[in-house]
Amino acid sequence: MKHFKYIIPLFIILISCQEKNFIDTGNVTGIVDKTMLDYMKSDSYNWDSTILVIKRANLESLFEGTDPDYPQITFFGPTNLSILRYMLPKGYKKVDDIPENECKDLILRHVLEGRLMKEDVPDGVGNPKQGGKNYTSLGGNEIWLYKKKDGFGPFDVEGPTHLYLESIDFMKPWDIASANIQTNTGIVHSMEYAYVFGEI
C-alpha cells in the first residue's frame, strides 16, 4: 500500500499522454454535414479561440465555403491550447489583442487550397527526411507532409498510419492529432495540443 499514492498520479499522466494526440470529432466516420466553421462552433472545447482568430482575421467566408476563389480548403487546425501557447509569451490576454493582419497571416499559414486527405499524401519518413511532399499554403509558407505506419510494442509491430507535418520555415516536426475530418467546405486535420500557433 505504501506505493499506492504513486499509482494515481502515474495513471493520470498516462491518460494525459494518450489524449494529447486525439481530437474527438464527435463522429466515428469523420464526416460532418456542416461547413467547416459550423463544425468548429459545435466543439467549443477545441475550437473557441480558433474561431475568434478566424473572425478577427475576417476570414469567415474562407471557412464557410463562400469565398469564390477557394470554395474548398484544407485546414491544419490549431486548437485553443495552441493559440494560448502563442498568446501568453507575447503578453496577449485575449484574441482581440492580436492585430488583425497578424491573425490573417497566421491563419493562412495553416490553409491549403482544395481538399487534401491523408491518403493523398505520399508515404515518407521523418529522419532521415525522405518521401512525402512539399505543399504551399495560402499564406505562402511551405510545409512538408508525409504519412507512415507507426510501430509499437517491443517487437515494433506495424500500427496505424499517421500524418505528420514539418514547417520548412521553423524546421519543426508536428504530429497531426486527428486527420480527415470531412466537412462540406473542406478537410480539417487537427494539430496536436503541444503545437504552438504559427510555427508552421
Please tell me the predicted confidence (pLDDT) of residue 3. Answer: 46
Domain boundaries, given as residue ranges, for the chain? 4-118+176-191
For residue 195, give every residue at least 6 positions away whose Cβ sits within 8 Å of its Cβ, in sequence order, or none: 78, 79, 82, 85, 174
- Please tell me whether residue 89 adopts helix, strand or coil conformation: helix
Nearest to 179 by CA among 119, 116, 115, 118: 118
- The DSSP string of 143-176 is EEEEEEEEEETTTTEEEEEEEEEEETTT--EEEE
Please tell me the predicted confidence (pLDDT) of residue 13. Answer: 39
The CATH superfamily assigned to 4-118+176-191 is FAS1 domain (2.30.180.10)
CB burial of residue 152 (10 Å; 0-12, 13-18, 19+):
exposed
Averaged pLDDT, groups of 10, the chain, 200 residues long: 42 40 51 97 96 98 98 98 97 97 98 98 91 97 92 59 91 93 98 95
Identity of the amino acid at 175: D
Please tell me the predicted confidence (pLDDT) of residue 29. Answer: 60
- Please indicate, yes or no, whether the overall pTM of this predicted structure exceeds 0.85: no
Calculate the CA 50 to chain-centre distance: 11
For residue 160, give every residue at least 6 positions away whose Cβ sits within 8 Å of its Cβ, in sequence order, or none: 149, 150
Would you say 53 and 103 are in contact if contact means Cβ atoms under 8 Å apart?
yes
